[in-house]
Amino acid sequence: MTLKRIAPYGTWHSPISVDATIYKNRALTSPRVNTKSGRAFFIESTEDGRHTVIEITDDGLEDILPQDCSVQNRVYEYGGSKYDVLDSDQLIFSNKNDTVCLLNPDSGEVQLLVQSDVLRYSSFCANHSSPWVLAIEEDHTFTDPYKVQNYIVAINVESRAVKRVVTGADFYYIPQFSQDGSRVSWVEWNHPDLPFAAGKLYIGDWAPDGSIKNARLIAGQNMESVAEPRWGPDGSLFFGKEMGPHRKLYRIPPGEDSETLIQLDGLDDAEFAEARLMEGSRTFVPLTANLLVATAVTNGLSRLIAINLSTGSWKLLADDKTLCHISADSVAKLDDNSVLVIGNGTVSHKAVHRIDVEHPENNKVIRKAIDEKFPDGIFARPETLRVRSKGSPTRDIFGFLWMPRNPLYTGPTGELPPLILNTHGGPTGHTGSGLNLRGQYFTSRGYAYLELNYTGSTGHGRHYRESLFGNWGIVDSADVVEVADHLADAGRVNRNGIGITGASAGGYNTLQSLSRYPGKFAGGVCVCGISDLLSFNDGTHKLESDYTEALVLHPGVSEEEKLKIFHERSAMYHTDGMDSPLLLLHGQADTVVPIQQARIIAEALKKLDRDVEIIEVEDEGHMFSKPSSAKLWLLEEERWWKKTLLKHRQRG
């Protein structure tokens, strides 16, 4: 038995190092398989910040991408799907310099296919019966967001010809060939609508000359939140659609245009398929004409299930310790009975899993995000929160809480831990309960850590998501205070040691919470957040050019009312009430939320002689994706919490 050392919360020594959290922690995404040859691949990050392609072989894992390449793109600024596998096993991918290239996985040879100073490409889908590959093309000839154009194109990998095959809409997502290459599907929508509701599903017939014939709208006519169209091996088309309170799966059988709901008993409150701001989600896949593997999300918790399409029955494929969070580009067919899935569990790191539907004894972890071993008992376990608000409107608020945990330490008797309250980006996104080493970095040092899925988060049903629209900056910041007060009132955390943080939309929430609720927080850390909605709205990129107004304004407001509301919802104009110490981190090359958003509020607070620091990161964009930037963020955040949250110890 190990005797625990008594030490104040927030001061514990932890084996979870900065290097393990940042440099040794791989980002894993995008499984792809050529089901004819059986060759399988995925993307992972490297310690120097590249994104490389890993092949899964009988002899182990092999990095097949030359070091001067990185699989990434800037379509819609956030980037879309990055590559696909051709029938020949060659890979078509978007390179870091906005080129499109072809990779021979055996020789490592990279061939340039498309290069342009103004065109970007993403979301590749190969036709396994011809040399054509579908992709999204984005034309930046003009910098005005409303003049940036998007198309669906076909790239001929033999002739290098690029043809625009679908035009006319403002936005396109997920162009897909049917498995026999005879048909095409895609999702599109127009300004000022958003993909969460307005995505429309089209299909058409593929012609040998590289064109689409007989294009027709088949779903999404009535703001039904269509998402993730996927073709089955028998020619069925599957997709998610929101006809009620939760998005469900639908199927269009071969040769038909009418859809059928896939009824699943016991999953009424689960939603399927992701309608996200970021393009390219793959959270379900048909394996055979009668078997589908899908992710069911209930209140932010993911479950991987197998669906028998003949009987309508389903079964769980992994417990929550193994897989409780599956999101974005994460699921691919390996063969008729197994899938590759990327996700994490409550006590397991994110990993690439092979999941066998009929023979779970064949399940295998192929690649973990981190190889380092940590002591038993070091990882905190998530608690699911569902808090009934005291304020109006009466509502449930969701999140996941991790209390301090370290097998070598305990806090002084009766002392309460400080709380770090993190608000996710989006704002229409959500955070799951999977093991997150960054959060564990803090819990193992004696902090409580909360991921708040505030009103507007996805994964909690349509009403919860749509309740944010028109109310951004009000209800989401109120949720922060409701949950913080709930935990303090329950004697779980130190009321005087609560800090709020977030990045992007989470940064906006941080600033709003600090300005609207003076004295509530011991400190705040805002990463690439918005301080002035009007200037942000005037200068943001195409994908989000109508997003802010939809989130902040109710329909029908006048221009005068709009300016007034933008002013009211911007922390920049309410700095008098911001008395909590504030740390601002921002990338100088951020094209989503420009650096000026941090500079103006830092300057305003300095004039008021408030405790504020701003750290600008050269050559860093919106996502703080460079390892050196992520390390800086973690170290500076920890410094700030030591300075602000540990000042006032409180006993329960």
Give the residue extent of every domain in the chain.
5-17+376-646, 27-168, 282-369
Q: Does 27-168 match 5-17+376-646 at the fold level?
A: no
Residue 340 predicted with pLDDT over 80:
yes
Give the pLDDT of residue 648: 76
- Please tell me the distance from the alpha carbon of residue 210 to that of residue 617, in angstroms, as a whole number: 45
CATH topology of domain 27-168: Methylamine Dehydrogenase; Chain H (2.130.10)
Position 652 pLDDT exceeds 80: no
Q: Whole-model pTM?
A: 0.95
pLDDT above 90 coverage of the chain, percent:
92
pLDDT tens figures, 488-508: 999 999 999 999 999 999 999
Tens digits of residue pLDDT in 118-128 = 999 999 999 99
* pLDDT tops 80 at residue 1: no
- 181 touches 219 (CB < 8 A): no
Mean pLDDT calculated for residue range 20-44: 96
pLDDT at 196: 87
Q: What is the pLDDT of residues 156-171, one digit of tens each?
A: 999 999 999 999 999 9
Rounded CA gap, 359 and 361, in Å?
5
Q: What is the pLDDT of residues 462-479, one digit of tens each?
A: 999 999 999 999 999 999
pLDDT of 5 reads 96
CB 183 within 8 A of CB 133: no
Q: How far apart are CA 284 and CA 326, in angstroms?
A: 10
Can you give the three-state secondary structure of 377-441, one letter per residue? CCCCCEEEEEEECCCCCCCEEEEEEECCCCCCEECCCCEECCEEEEECCCCCCCCCCCCCHHHHH
Is residue 650 very low, low, confident or very high in pLDDT (cuts 50, 70, 90)? Answer: low
Strands in 248-252's sheet, in edge-to-edge order, are 227-231, 237-241, 248-252, 260-261
Tokens of 95: 């390179």
pLDDT in tens, 538-569: 888 898 889 999 999 999 999 999 999 999 99
CATH class assigned to 5-17+376-646: alpha beta
Please check the confidence at residue 511 and state whether its pLDDT lies above 60.
yes
8 A C-beta contact, residue 368 and residue 322: no
The pLDDT assigned to 486 comes to 98
Q: Angle 475-489/505-516 helices, nearest 10 degrees? A: 70
Give the integer Cα–Cα distance in Å for 478 and 513: 7
